[in-house]
């Protein structure tokens, strides 16, 4: 039953198609857009890549993802066709993450991808970089992140409680795609940190265990502000190994305060590397004072005397373990500490141009 | 004629059905390969099983190797080394989301290479272990489980667990070459 042009589509047919997708086990829990060949063709027209190109199999799970499979999942997620190059770049950026190309998707940690978008593509596609950047409410942000989740679920076949073994998972998994607020950031964008030319539309991605706010509208002193961050960054519950990695998505106000006091991004990173950590006594109290030969922490049988000397253990090995972006509205001085699962690759992926003949259609 | 709704499922990498390795009649004189996956207590657990096999089943000795990445299947080099030097292999302990699945994948890999293998996982990860066996072309692959968790166990508890599992380990290593329900 085809509708007249301009007429409202048939909701009963749409509902049957949605239920069909649920029944096949393709859904992450929310309704999917049923994908037809004409819709798939619109997505494929947005890339010059061969639909059959394999873009990330995991040999150990016996599945391969092709460009066409990624496109079907992106369309199901609710992406518009023009988002597809961003989805492909996000996927490629995640493939550079050691955990995501290994066992990360199967982990009991249930990590969530953080997808950071830079460049003009943010305004072209309406990718939110300002108020409520962690969502919800913006189609591009919501569906690009969801597309990655559906590719993992359907493309790789890693489903919750089967090959995915998240103990609790985390709120926001498959929904964290943010534009960087380059216009109100005092610092170069992430993609430039990663070596791409300024003004490049690009995606950076890493896996997160959670995101935790730091609300400090209380001080204009940069050192006090940094100490407030250090407390959240240094909490013992997040420490598993000797070293950890923690990203900061600064709200514009915090970033501007720090930059106004003369802090470059590198200065902020160096400050955190120097000041974040715990004393031996703190670590002992939490059963994490020992570090074995595999750098995993354990409850050492330290004596009170051994832990009472105030010895300070740093937890961030280098600036590379402290990726920084700026996003959100300039309406309150708050930021997000993002707890990195593994380590950011330090690489950003440029978003490919839409093929000329297709774009001209 | 309406359009079909397209299937989003990824391509299956081709994998022939697994065939289990031929079993020895007993473990007398056998070199036991131990592949530990770096998880806490894995060395201790496998080491204790190896020790018991030497002590009670006249195995010649053990070769202990470590997986560099517990989340991923064993490297071809390690597989070939075990196939060359060992009569049988014990691997584990699968006690996380990715390493339980990859331990099962390793067991199937060793069987394909002609080496009888025993995989040990914590019982919290049966579903993912079974799913991986299926992906590896070995649906119903038999592996052994030990109650979760393994990481916090003390040395005497590990010895006790090994002792409990020993009869099943021997049974799998010298038993019939069949793919059947998991232990």
Tens of pLDDT, residues A164-199: 999 999 999 999 999 999 999 999 999 999 999 999
Helix (H) or strand (E) run with residue B61 in it: strand B61-66
CB contact under 8 A, B10 and A66: yes
Report residue A356's pLDDT band, with 50, 70 and 90 as the boundaries.
confident
Strand A334-340 and strand A246-250: the pairing is: antiparallel
Which pLDDT value is given to residue B69?
Answer: 87
Cα distances from A127 to residues A116, A121, A139, in angstroms, run 10, 8, 8
Least trusted range by pLDDT, from A94-108, A132-146, A182-196, A275-289: A94-108
pLDDT at residue A221 is higher than 90: yes
Which chain A residues touch B102 with a CB distance below 8 Å? Answer: 60, 103
Distance, in Å, from the CA atom of A107 to the CA atom of A167, rounded to the nearest integer, reads: 8
Q: Is pLDDT larger for residue A360 or for residue B120?
A: B120
Which chain B residues touch A291 with a CB distance below 8 Å? Answer: none
Which chain A residues touch B70 with a CB distance below 8 Å? Answer: 103
- By the 8 A CB rule, do B64 and B46 touch? yes
Among chain B residues, the shortest Cα distance to A166 is held by: B97
Q: What are phi and psi of B156, to 5 degrees?
A: -70, -30
Locate B151 and state its tokens: 């990481």
- Residue-wise pLDDT for A31-58, tens only, equals 999 999 999 999 999 999 999 999 988 8
| CB neighbour list of residue A280: distance below 8 Å, 6 or more residues apart | A289, A302, A306, A307, A309, A310, A311, A312, A313
Among chain B residues, the shortest Cα distance to A152 is held by: B10
Please identify which residue in the block is written with the tokens 């141009």: A353
Distance from CA of A252 to the nearest CA of B (A): 38
Locate A115 and state its tokens: 């997808």
CB contact under 8 A, B135 and A157: yes
Q: Write the burial class of residue B24 (CB in 10 Å: 0-12 exposed, 13-18 middle, 19+ buried).
A: middle
Q: Is pLDDT larger for residue A99 or for residue A6?
A: A99
Nearest one of B65, B70, B46 to B161, comparing CA atoms: B46
Which pLDDT value is given to residue B19?
Answer: 86
Within 13 Å and on the Cβ side, how many CA atoms surround B80?
Answer: 3
Helix (H) or strand (E) run with residue A112 in it: strand A112-118
CB contact under 8 A, A72 and B6: yes
Say whether the peptide bond before residue B93 is cis (omega within 30 degrees of 0).
yes
Distance, in Å, from the CA atom of B135 to the CA atom of A157, rounded to the nearest integer, reads: 10
Q: How many CB atoms lie within 10 A of CB B160?
A: 13
Which pLDDT value is given to residue B14?
Answer: 65
Distance, in Å, from the CA atom of A238 to the CA atom of A290, rounded to the nearest integer, reads: 15
Strand B88-94 and strand A63-64: the pairing is: unpaired
| CB neighbour list of residue B145: distance below 8 Å, 6 or more residues apart | B120, B121, B122, B123, B126, B182, B183
DSSP alpha helices (H): ranges in A182-251?
190-193, 222-233
Distance, in Å, from the CA atom of A177 to the CA atom of A204, rounded to the nearest integer, reads: 10
Which pLDDT value is given to residue A1?
Answer: 47
3.40.50.360, 1.20.1250.20, 3.40.1550.10, 3.40.718.10: CATH of B31-174? 3.40.50.360
Among chain B residues, the shortest Cα distance to A296 is held by: B40
Average pLDDT over residues A328-340: 97
- The sign one gets for the Cα dihedral B103, B45, B114, B170 is negative
Domain locations in chain A as residue ranges: 11-276+315-359
Give chain B's residues under pLDDT 50: 177-183
Which chain A residues touch B38 with a CB distance below 8 Å? Answer: 294
Nearest one of A145, A113, A125 to A81, comparing CA atoms: A125
> How many CB pairs below 8 Å do chains A and B form together?
121
Distance, in Å, from the CA atom of A245 to the CA atom of A233, rounded to the nearest integer, reads: 9
Distance from CA of A165 to the nearest CA of B (A): 5
Nearest one of A91, A126, A130 to A249, comparing CA atoms: A130
CB contact under 8 A, B105 and A60: yes
Distance, in Å, from the CA atom of A12 to the CA atom of A24, rounded to the nearest integer, reads: 19
Q: What are phi and psi of A155, to 5 degrees?
A: -70, -50
Mutate to test the interface with A, among B3, B7, B9, B138 (most CBs of A within 10 A): B9
Cα distances from A56 to residues A151, A208, B99, B121, in angstroms, run 10, 20, 20, 28
């Amino acid at each position: 039953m085809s509708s007249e042009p301009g007429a409202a589509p048939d909701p009963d047919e749409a509902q049957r198609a949605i239920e069909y997708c649920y029944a096949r086990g393709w859904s992450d829990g929310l309704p999917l857009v049923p994908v037809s060949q004409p819709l798939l063709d619109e997505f494929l027209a947005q890339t010059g890549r061969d639909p059959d190109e394999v873009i990330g199999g995991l040999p150990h799970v016996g599945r391969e993802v092709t460009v066409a499979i990624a496109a079907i999942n992106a369309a199901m997620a609710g992406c518009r066709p023009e988002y597809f190059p961003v989805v492909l770049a996000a996927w490629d950026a995640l493939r550079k993450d050691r955990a995501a190309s290994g066992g990360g998707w199967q982990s009991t940690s249930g990590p969530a991808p953080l997808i950071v978008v830079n460049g003009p593509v943010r305004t072209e596609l309406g990718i939110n970089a300002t108020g409520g950047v962690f969502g919800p409410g913006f189609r591009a942000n919501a569906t690009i992140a969801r597309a990655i989740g559906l590719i993992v679920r359907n493309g790789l076949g890693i489903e919750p409680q089967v090959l995915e073994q998240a103990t609790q998972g985390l709120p926001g998994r498959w929904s964290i795609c943010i534009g960087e607020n380059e216009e109100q950031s005092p610092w170069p964008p992430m993609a430039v940190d990663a070596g791409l030319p300024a003004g490049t539309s690009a995606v950076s991605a890493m896996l997160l265990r959670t995101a935790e706010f730091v609300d400090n509208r209380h001080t204009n002193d940069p050192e006090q502000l940094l100490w407030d961050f250090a407390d959240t960054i240094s909490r013992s519950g997040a420490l598993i190994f000797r070293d950890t990695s923690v990203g900061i998505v600064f709200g514009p106000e915090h970033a501007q305060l720090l930059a106004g006091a003369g802090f470059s991004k590198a200065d902020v990173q160096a400050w955190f590397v120097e000041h974040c950590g715990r004393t031996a006594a703190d670590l002992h109290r939490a059963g994490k004072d020992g570090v074995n030969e595999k750098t995993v922490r354990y409850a050492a049988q330290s004596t009170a005397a051994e832990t009472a000397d105030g010895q300070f253990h740093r937890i961030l090995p280098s600036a590379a373990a402290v990726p920084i972006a700026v996003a959100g509205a300039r309406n309150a001085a708050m930021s997000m500490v993002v707890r990195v699962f593994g380590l950011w690759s330090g690489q950003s992926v440029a978003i490919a141009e839409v093929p000329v003949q297709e774009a001209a259609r | 004629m309406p359009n079909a709704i397209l299937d989003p499922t990824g391509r299956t990498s081709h994998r022939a059905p697994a065939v289990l390795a031929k079993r020895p009649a007993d473990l007398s004189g056998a070199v036991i390969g131990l592949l530990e996956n770096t998880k806490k207590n894995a060395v201790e657990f496998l080491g204790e099983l190896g020790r018991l096999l030497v002590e009670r089943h006249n195995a010649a000795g053990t070769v202990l190797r470590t997986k560099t990445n517990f989340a991923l299947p064993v490297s071809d080099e390690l597989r070939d080394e075990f196939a060359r030097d060992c009569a049988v292999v014990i691997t584990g302990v699968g006690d996380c989301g990715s390493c339980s699945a990859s331990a099962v994948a390793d067991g199937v890999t060793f069987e394909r290479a002609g080496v009888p293998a025993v995989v040990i996982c914590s019982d919290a990860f049966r579903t993912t272990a079974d799913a991986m066996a299926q992906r590896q072309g070995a649906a119903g692959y038999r592996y052994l489980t030990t109650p979760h968790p393994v990481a916090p166990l003390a040395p005497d508890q590990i010895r006790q667990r090994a002792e409990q599992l020993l009869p099943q380990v021997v049974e799998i290593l010298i038993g019939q070459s069949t793919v059947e329900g998991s232990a």
